Structure 1
Amino acid sequence: MNVQQKKKAPRSALRVPLWWVAALVLALSSPVWGQPAQFNEAPQLAERVSAGELPPVEERLPDNPLVVPVVERIGTYGGTWRTVLLGASDANHIRRTIGYEGLLRWTPDWSDIVPNVAESYEANEDATEFTFHLREGMRWSDGHPFTAHDIMFWYEAVVMNEELTPAPPTWFTTGEDNVPGTVEVIDDTTVVFRFEQPNGLFLLEMAGGFGVIPVSYPRHYMEQFHIDYNPDGIDALVQQAGVNTWVDLFQIRGNSPDYTVEHWQDPNRPMLNAWVPTSPYAGTRFTAQRNPYYWKVDEEGNQLPYIDSVVYDIVEDAELILLRVANGEIDFLDRHIADPSYRAVLFDNQERGDYRFIEGPSAFMNTLVVPFNLTHRDPVKREIFQNKDFRVALSHAINRQEIIDLVFIGQGEPWQAAPQADTPYFHERLATQYLEYDPELANEILDRHYPERDAQGFRLGPDGNRITIIGEAAVGSQTHVDTLGVIQEHWRAVGIDLQVRPIDRSLLWQRIEANDVDVSVWDGDGGGLEALIRPRYYFPSELASAQAPAWAAWYINPTLEIAEEPEEPERRQMELYEQLRATGDLDEQSELMLEILEIAADRFAVIGVSTRPLAVGIARNNLRNVPDSIPQTGGFYPNPAPANPFQWFFE
């Protein structure tokens, strides 16, 4: 079956069964909801219309606004959604709450891909051409028209500018040579993406976080910060901003291809979101208020969002977040409270905090992955880490059931870094090999390679020095730190010195992408359908592949400073993945993914701990239209945003 073959009407929805189902079918169909007879708006906006500050709501909406069905009932306007950010680098939480407005989007239950910013779309049969039809009359948050020319600005001024984009994003490239696609504007509301070779994952990428990027560059605002569009005035703006170059200036004005902190630093930059920033992401609070030109309505024609504003308090300690939840000071949150050790506190304070639990399936494949950096800068550590026997021994040295009982309050089962059992990508050998807790076997294997020990009983490496591994975990991810602490004792028992180092989240990723880590632990994403999109722990596919950042750099762009040509097995995985990206045939995609996983099982570069428990979030009892279940994926379905927070309301 070819994912591009079932074409019907122009208005479209890509039918994608839930992530544990094998089939993936493209279906083009008409929307269920018709246009309301009249439109209404929030009282605060009506006041601005009366004062002559805004045009009437009918003039602010596009000709065909997106009609969104509500979960429970038509809501009422007003209120402030209170939530939190963990430190200065938690931009992902902003993206997952108010920043998910791409060309396409997931439905709340993760069963469909549907048009969003694009009113409709079409794809040709070989997945090389994708046409998006935009909404006539749609506007940025400042009232300026949003058109296909804004997308063209992103393409010409950002993607094709080597100073801003040294290497094009992989989702926008095809073939072994990573040839970037092209963009053509047909008219103000029609734009075509073309690729030299089939891009079988492109629509999935557009429904995830990457679909936001092409529609995040308001040309009328951003061109003043670009040297090609403002050559005479750019120097003065650079000086005024206190930065060194026009590239630095463009960055701080919102050039954030991965939706990092820079995206939220300029509250003057127009957006398409339901709420737009009124302050930069800095200090102790980040705020956003309703977008008067938001282009979605409910079935009765009420312009969304219902909630007036969103306030993010910026805190430095995850336990402070827990305290705020318990005190009823947070209205919705499904991030930073997943630590199983928090469950008892959350349950005990449910009545006092006046909240209910929002549960959902987790698409993560593991509670924690432990990748060994096979491309370590230190030749001695590289030699040790590349020794598969060493990795196998340390896997057998881990008492996973003890970790499950102590850290994850008895939830989960031992599991390696492998897709979940109820997915089409389940690979039994990868999931179950080397799980047995057997310190005697671990010592036996290690004795064959590193028999010498120092006075404290730690093994010596080939250079005669103690084998010491720095295990880094993000501050705020307490289960990661706690799990490493237990593993530290397990590995000490077999003569390996693991030093646990909690580190700032943003600094951790900087160190990984610079190839400066030994072992850096993180959530094991890629448990289901996301394995196709982000297979970073199955082979070195991106700089965040902590098991081999230098090989990943070569795959992305061989000219990068840390890039090294991979060994043959990883080269083969990269070739297979390029074949996977180049086909829309689901059976072929699954076969290719299983080949990649077969090699991953042979290499065993990443150790896993256990399966993930059911994901839990909280919603205040007076916050309505929140689904009872919201999937958690870590990015592919950027929860809770696909659950449509713009139709949540306070009763």
Structure 2
Amino acid sequence: MRYSLSAFIVILLIAGLLTACSTGPAPGAAEEAAPAPAADNAEAAPAADADAADMADSMEAPALAAMVADGSLPALSERLPVSPKVVEPVDGPGQYGGIWRMGLRGGQDNALLVRTMAYEHLVRWTPDWTGIEPNIAEAYEASDDATEYTFHLREGTKWSDGEPFTADDIVFWAEDIIGNAEFEAAHNVPNWLTANGEPVTVEKVDDYTVKFIFAGPNGLFLQRLATPSGADLTRWPKHYCSQFHPDYNADNLDALITEADATDWVNLMELKCAGVPGTPYDARWQNGDLPSLNPWILTTAYGAGTQVVAERNPYYWKVDSDGRQLPYIDKIVYDVGEDVDVLVLKALNGEIDMQDRHIGTLANKAVFADNMEAGGYGFYETIPSGMNTIAIALNLTHKDPVRREMFQNKDFRIALSQAINRQEIIDVVYVGQGEPYQLAPRPTSPFYNEQLAKQYTEYDPDMANEILDGLYPDKNDDGIRIGPDGEPLTLVVDVTSNQQDRIDALGLIQGYWKAVGVDMQINSMDRSLLYTRKDSNEHDVSVWGGDG
């Protein structure tokens, strides 16, 4: 796909859907739908793999060809796997070169980096989201009972430093990282990698074959593997990360811990190869020495200055349908700015080429529309994958048993939902765009269910009061109901400070709930603190987008 490097903006038209339900954000969950970054990393139809041996060495970026010519880089045939992943360009073959300019907000905007250059898992979703297709794995099989999954890796795939990617890298992650008691104590094995309470076992069949064995059926394993969490399996180069592990480098470990200003070997591994729990630190973006399988590799790390820079990976393992090595684009440059308004101005001035995150919002739509002709950009309407714009998630596992019982009461949650005037919020906050909706699949989804989508969305304060009168009839002098603990019924709602539309919506909901006798305190905070409070089970209610 050709990408014009003139300034244009993807304006993401997200419906103003509101919900009150019992879900919460997962760490690293995206706040808006992601754009398709480039033909090598999105929108590709499944295609047969190519034979690298038949490809001419000239089928690469000119800069890489020059490095091959001067002897500083191996020939293309030595850098590609035997069967590269073939990506079919949507609009025909692209041209090598150019810089893709984007903007990051502050020092914690990892989501944009993940979306634009880090979706390289064993498998991935097809571009139309109808199924799973091989990616780093050339093929896979699942047992009939969904307890065993076998992946065949692409022979000859290499990390960005030229070292082979093999089954040993995945086994290292399984046995020495999540299988290590000290490391696991700080990170925990995610539920999707367990069955019947037991973590997955990973076996090396040969250099290019690995088998995942579960203690019971795990029928959604492939689908979960295709989500952002699936990156964990393919981000651990053993040849690099093992130097920070006591089982491989005990003699030099203390010196490395001191040099990195780490507290112990687990923290050292977090800084070099993983991430630090409760913080936005992610080694993929902060450690430029960490090899990767991504199309672009860091040359200026996050936090090293006012830009994050990533240049093409000479060992990238994908080609287009003509056998030309991807990516087409030479470099990605992310300007780092603390204020969203700065990013908007950059876009208006032609300093951002393509981006939706932070920019493609309803609040910004008017200013972009007014400046479209002068700026030479356009709106590109996309269909968002998120089920809603706002999810108000009550903590059903609250540490306080009284609050836990109250939040688990379905009638209580129904009352809060019916007390919300969604249409007014849509009109006031989201300039009339959207419709009242629950946290449910969209009408275009094969899983759409009208009852799930629309139930309890009608604004009915009388019904809400009737339900709450049956639960907590007593009120104080301010009209706030007395909760089951004998105190005024106050809900503390956590929300990220950079999502002004959510804060504005909560300001209206605060009034709706007070009218039915429920007090709300809006607790605006940094995203990392919201994650910490949620992960520590310290919150009453958290607010997130409806994307997971």
Same fold (TM over 0.5): yes
Structure 1 letter corresponding to 2:203 = E
- The AA in structure 2 aligned to 1:269 is L
1:74 maps to a residue whose letter is P
Secondary structure of 2:538's aligned partner: coil
Task: Find the counterpart in structure 1 of residue 191 from structure 2.
Answer: 170
Say whether 1:103 aligns with 2:122: yes
Compared CA separation, residues 58 and 137, structure 1 to 2 (3 A): same
Measure how far apart 1:112 and its partner are: 4.1
Counterpart among 289, 294, 300 of residue 268 in structure 1: 289
Task: Please show how residues 477-626 of structure 1 align to structure 2 within 5 Å.
Answer: 477-525=499-547
Equivalent residue number for residue 24 of structure 1: none
Which residue, 361, 365, 368 being the options, matches 1:343?
A: 365
Alignment equivalent of 1:179, drawn from 198, 201, 204 = 198
Say if 2:392 and 2:541, in contact at 8 Å, map to a contact too: yes
CA distance in 1, matches of 2:238, 2:203: 16
Which of 48, 57, 67 aligns to 1:31? It is 48
Question: How do 1:152-171 residues align onto structure 2 when only pairs under 5 Å count?
Answer: 152-166=171-185, 167-171=188-192
Q: Is 1:355 matched with 2:372?
A: no
Pick from 97, 100, 114: which aligns with 1:81?
100
Q: Tell me if the contact between 1:90 and 1:261 (Cα under 8 Å) persists in the aligned partners.
A: no
Partner of 2:4: none
TM superposition shift of 1:161: 0.7
Give the 5 Å matches for 1:182-221: 182-221=201-240
SS of residue in 2 equivalent to 1:360: coil
SS at 1:393 equivalent: helix
**2-side partners of 1:321 and 1:384: how far apart?**
43
> Match for residue 325 of structure 2?
303
Aligned-partner residue type, residue 293 of structure 2:
L
1:129 to 144, 148, 156: 148
* C-alpha distance after superposition, 1:64-105 (max 9, x if no partner): 222221121222222211112223222122111101111112
Whole-Å separation in 1 of the counterparts to 2:447 and 2:129: 18
Structure 1 residue 325 corresponds to structure 2 residue 347: yes
Aligned residues: 496
- Alpha-carbon displacement from aligned partner over 1:466-495 (angstroms, at most 9, x marks no partner): 332222211222221121111112122233
2:315 match: secondary structure: coil
In the TM superposition, residue 428 of structure 1 has moved relative to its aligned partner by 4.5
Contact 1:254 / 1:265 at 8 angstroms: preserved in 2? no
After alignment, is 104-113 or 225-234 more displaced? Answer: 104-113
Q: Which moved more, 1:57-66 or 1:214-223?
A: 57-66
In 1, Cα distance between the equivalents of 2:149 and 2:484? 55
Rounded to whole Å, the distance in 1 between the matches of 2:202 and 2:49 is 30
Residue 169 of structure 1: how far off its partner (Å)? 2.2
Distance 2:264 2:471 in 1: 52
Question: Aligned to 2:380, what secondary structure does the other structure show?
Answer: strand
Task: Verify the 8 A CA contact 1:124 1:130 in the aligned structure 2.
Answer: yes
Distance 2:366 2:178 in 1: 48
Corresponding letter in the other structure for 1:153: F
1:435 and 1:357 map into 2 onto residues whose CA distance is: 31
Q: What's 1:385 paired with? A: 407
Does the CA-based 8 Å contact 1:261-1:281 persist in structure 2?
no
Change (3 A) 1:458 1:151: same
User: 1:455 Cα shift?
Assistant: 4.4
TM-score normalised according to structure 2 size: 0.84
Match of 2:307 among 285, 305, 308: 285
* Residue equivalent to 1:554: none
- In structure 2, distance between residues paired with 1:363 and 1:339: 15
Q: Which has the higher contact order (CA 8 A, sep 6+)?
A: 2
- Mapped to 1, the partners of 2:51 and 2:72 lie a distance apart of 30
Contact 1:288 1:311 in 2 (8 A): yes
Contact 1:372 1:518 in 2 (8 A): yes
Q: What secondary structure does 1:409 align onto?
A: coil
Once residues 113 and 385 of structure 1 are traced to their aligned partners in structure 2, the CA distance between those partners, rounded to angstroms, is: 36
Please give the residue correspondences for 1:356-435 in structure 2 after superposition, counting only pairs within 5 Å: 356-378=378-400, 381-382=403-404, 384-435=406-457
In 2, Cα distance between equivalents of 1:354 and 1:165:
51
Query: How far did 1:438 drift?
Result: 2.1
When residues 83 and 184 of structure 1 are mapped into structure 2, their CA distance, relative to the original with a 3 A threshold, is: same
C-alpha contact (below 8 Å) 1:86/1:476 kept by paired residues: no
Q: Is the 8 A contact 2:276 2:282 kept in 1?
A: no
Cα drift, residue 464 of structure 1: 4.9
| Larger deviation, residues 152-161 vs 424-433 | 424-433
Label 1:121 to 1:433 Cα distance change in 2 as closer, same or farther (>3 A): closer
Which range moves more in the overlay, 131-140 or 384-393? 384-393
> C-alpha distance in 1, partners of 2:401/2:308?
44
Q: Deviations over 1:488-507 (max 9, x none)?
A: 12122233322222211111
Q: Give the corresponding residue for 1:239.
A: 258
The one-letter code of the counterpart of 2:318 is K
Distance 1:73 1:164 in 2: 46
CA contact (8 A) 1:375 1:515 kept: yes
The 1:524/1:140 distance shift into structure 2, 3 A limit, reads same
SS in 2 for 1:145: coil
Name the counterpart of 2:162.
143
SS of 1:233's equivalent? helix
State the match for 1:597 in structure 2.
none
CA 1:465–1:284 in 2, change beyond 3 Å: closer, same or farther? farther
SS in 2 for 1:341: helix
Q: Displacement, 1:230?
A: 0.8
Deviation at 1:462, TM superposition (A): 4.5
- The separation in 2 between residues aligned to 1:387 and 1:61, in whole angstroms, is 57
User: What residue ranges of structure 2 are gaps of 5+ in the alignment?
Assistant: 1-45
With normalisation by structure 1, the TM-score equals: 0.71
Moved more, 437-446 or 40-49: 437-446
For residue 242 of structure 1, what is the amino acid of its counterpart?
D
Letter in 1 for 2:191: T
Mean Cα displacement is larger for which, 342-351 or 211-220? 342-351
Distance 2:456 2:250 in 1: 60
Moved more, 70-79 or 249-258: 249-258
- CA deviations over 1:27-48 (Å, ceiling 9, x no partner): xx98276766424222222232
Q: 1:397 to 1:33 in 2, by over 3 A?
A: same
Instruction: Give, in angstroms, the shift of residue 205 of structure 1.
Output: 2.1
Distance 1:257 1:118, change over 3 A: farther
Q: CA deviation at 1:260?
A: 6.2
SS at match of 2:379: strand
- Aligned CA-pair RMSD: 2.5
